[in-house]
Structure 1
Amino acid sequence: MTGWLFLLLTLTLLICAATSDLVQRRIPNTLIASAAIFLSICAFLDQEGILPWVGLAYGLIGLMTALVFTLPGWLLNKVGGGDVKLSMLLGAFLGPTGYILSVVLALPFGLIFLVGHRLAARPIPVDLPVGAFLAGGASVVLLVASWSTV
């Protein structure tokens, strides 16, 4: 699969997840399942000589990293289930390093959201769209990674 086509489709899925989270405060399971199927097919087609189980192990480590980050928040009812599932999907796809970078880069998106609410004199919502912030961070990671390989 062409790198730019893959990037465009992945960013489209992330934009859909972010928009859904911002507007409805939920990320539909159908979107998560579609993204998981699409990214799995892309990972399978884009092996480039890497042993499949190495990529699988790296993805599982990323998934577990995401689970460690988000499961406590979900258990305390601070993070929604869609945010956890999107986070695990990003962890499995980006691996542990890419996922942690996405979380770090999600912080400015959250800060912009909160400052925007404050400047508009709107109350800060109780349920923050964490998935939208993560999608923003992951988009930056994907864009930087794609530009660094050009």
Structure 2
Amino acid sequence: MDVDDGPDWREQRQAAVRAHAAADERRRVAEQAEAAELVAWFLGEATRRGLRPAPLLAGSYSGGGRYRTGLTGWYVDRARTRAVDVEGRFYLLTVPGGLRSRLFGATPRPHPAPLVVGAGGRDGESVPLRTLLTRRLDAGDDWP
């Protein structure tokens, strides 16, 4: 059965796709704004509690080394792959690595903080950002 749904159907379909994409973008922007507020809260609390920031190191994607970054802040996970710098920017501290990074250091770029860290990962271990930041604050300067 060969039915031509015509231009009306195609236009409706395209409009539905555009509406879905717009809704997805609004949700993403709202989540990023909420996560940015959590990071700002963490920065304020870390400062208020007197947590000492430390130089942040980045690890290579392959896990083969650690590199200077020139950043100062607080690691927020025990693996030291996520951090907040003293200006309140969120970082994923993994970089390509290599000889250049070993000699001159690495330059990770800030990322929008996720509301759920590890969401969609294969290991199934995800944690809300608020929980991760609260754990870090509660550990004080005794963080590994």
TM normalised by structure 1 equals: 0.30
Bigger helix fraction: 1
Structure with higher Rg: it is: 2
TM normalised by structure 2 equals: 0.31
